[in-house]
Amino acid sequence: MAFTPSSQKIEIQQLDPQQLKTWIKAQALDLGFSDCVIAKPDAQDQMPRFKEYLERGYHADMHYLEENLEKRADPTLLVPGTKSIICVRMNYLVASPKPRYVPFEPNSAIIARYARGRDYHKVMRGRLKTLANRIKEKVGDFESRPFADSAPIFEKSLAESAGMGWTGKHTLLIHKKSGSFFVLGELFTSLDLPFDQPATAHCGSCTACIDICPTQAIVEPYMLDARKCIAYLTIEYKGIIPEELRAGIGNRIFGCDDCQLICPWNGFAKTATISDFDPRHGLDNILLLDIWQWDEATFLANTEGSPIRRTGYQSFKRNIAIGLGNAPYSDKIIAKLQEAKTWHDEIVNVHIDWAIQQQMHQSNVHQIEK
Ligand code: SF4
Ligand code: SF4
């Protein structure tokens, strides 16, 4: 795990570090990364706020966040010998998004934009390895390790400390010229590179993301309660979703982009430079009832290499059941929910029962209004 400084060749010492940094950044862009900055391996200043977040229980069932706090604060404990961290990002939009409710299509399933194509983790790590190899060809051997959401690392804070953007009130990183629809990766290195400087913050008095959040998960600026966040509930959480949050989930069946969609800085969001994020199996435009028909074999086939696979078939069905409960009244929806009850586990069935009740309630309202 630890780097061995003695393995670095003499050539590194002879290169101008500033020129090497400029060259590395150009290579990163050539590999399809949207930006590249060099961060100091130090995130100590994040700890007070992070500890408060944990103490308040806002991390929900993500107990792994309670572990390895020292390594999070000091990346040189995670990979000894680290002298600099090359932080990169990949834009993942394939088209400029429409605002969430214009037009509102309540019978369609909404999947977070990052998850409609291939899982980015492998692509990110593969390209970071290629970047490391290119640097080795130029400077000789050095130590490196790529990461993509795969270790106890304050990814956003490191990138922010080196100017990749600022943390918005919704807790995501925003870049002034590129918005926030991007994913992050890091290459820990034993190279002595000059660090980049932080960017300035530009949320100002805006509270649009806090106001729009359908479940009021952003409990105060820069503090998100995962227990209420649709992204956590529909992706990470495996249990019964609290009833009071189900209406707010609406038709979002995997993740949620609402706080990003409303952010004015995403008027500057850029589209992806690689094809991996292109939607598969019509996941950018699919009806709730059509996706409800997927049996487990279809789910596994259609989510191969996709981040959606991670949530599992039963949780996926749980989420669609909520979407169907929130959809406009339809006899067909009620029939399809009723016939599905025998195929699912108890947790899904709790949500199917709720969805049928919601539909029945709407049916009564429908009758009275006639
Ligand atoms: S992802 Fe959705 S639910 Fe979570 S904070 Fe943003 S708007 Fe709220
Ligand atoms: S919506 Fe407003 S407050 Fe929220 S992150 Fe964007 S600029 Fe900041």
Q: What is the pLDDT of residue 10?
A: 42
What atom of ligand 1 comes closest to residue 260's alpha carbon? 6
175 lines ligand 2 (CB under 6 A): no
Q: What is the pLDDT of residue 100?
A: 58
Q: What is the pLDDT of residue 340?
A: 81
In angstroms, the CA 99 to CA 160 distance is: 27
Kindly state the tokens that stand for 80: 């000894």
- Residue range 110-165, pLDDT digits in tens: 999 999 999 999 899 999 999 999 999 999 999 999 999 989 999 999 999 999 99
Q: What is the mean pLDDT of the chain?
A: 93
Q: What is the pLDDT of residue 225?
A: 98
**Between 3 and 102, the higher pLDDT residue:** 3
Residues 6+ apart with CB under 8 A from 36: 24, 25, 28, 29, 86, 87, 88
- Which one from 16, 30, 61, 149 is the annotated catalytic residue? 149
pLDDT at residue 7 greater than cutoff 50: no
Q: What is the pLDDT of residue 363?
A: 75
The pair phi, psi for residue 137, each rounded to 5°, is -60, -30
Residue 36 annotated as part of some ligand binding site = no
Q: What is the pLDDT of residue 105?
A: 86
Q: What is the mean pLDDT of residues 289-300?
A: 96
Helix boundaries (H) for the chain? 11-14, 17-30, 47-55, 69-73, 75-78, 120-139, 155-161, 208-212, 230-231, 243-249, 258-261, 288-292, 296-302, 313-326, 331-340, 346-369
Q: What is the pLDDT of residue 288?
A: 97
Q: What is the mean pLDDT of residues 258-268?
A: 95
Element (H, E) at 184: strand 182-189
User: Is 196 considered catalytic here?
Assistant: no
In angstroms, the CA 121 to CA 302 distance is: 18
Q: What is the pLDDT of residue 297?
A: 96
Query: pLDDT-derived band of residue 362, with 50, 70 and 90 as boundaries?
Result: confident
Residue 215 annotated as part of some ligand binding site = no
CATH 3.40.109 intervals, the chain = 12-94+113-189
Q: Which ligand is nearest to the CA of 269?
A: 2
Q: What is the pLDDT of residue 182?
A: 97
Q: What is the pLDDT of residue 335?
A: 95
Query: pLDDT-derived band of residue 341, with 50, 70 and 90 as boundaries?
Result: confident
CA distance to 91, 236, 259, per residue, from 168 (Å): 17, 22, 10
- DSSP structural state of residue 56: T
Output the CA 179–ligand 1 centroid distance in Å.
Answer: 16
Output the CA 253–ligand 1 centroid distance in Å.
Answer: 13
- Residue range 299-320, pLDDT digits in tens: 999 999 999 998 999 999 999 9
Q: What is the pLDDT of residue 236?
A: 96
Beta-bridge partners for 166: 174
Q: What is the mean pLDDT of residues 18-27?
A: 97
Calculate what percentage of the chain has a pLDDT beyond 70.
92
CATH fold label, 12-94+113-189 = NADH Oxidase (3.40.109)
Element (H, E) at 84: strand 84-91
In angstroms, the CA 18 to CA 193 distance is: 7
262 lines ligand 1 (CB under 6 A): no
245 lines ligand 1 (CB under 6 A): no
Query: pLDDT-derived band of residue 3, with 50, 70 and 90 as boundaries?
Result: low
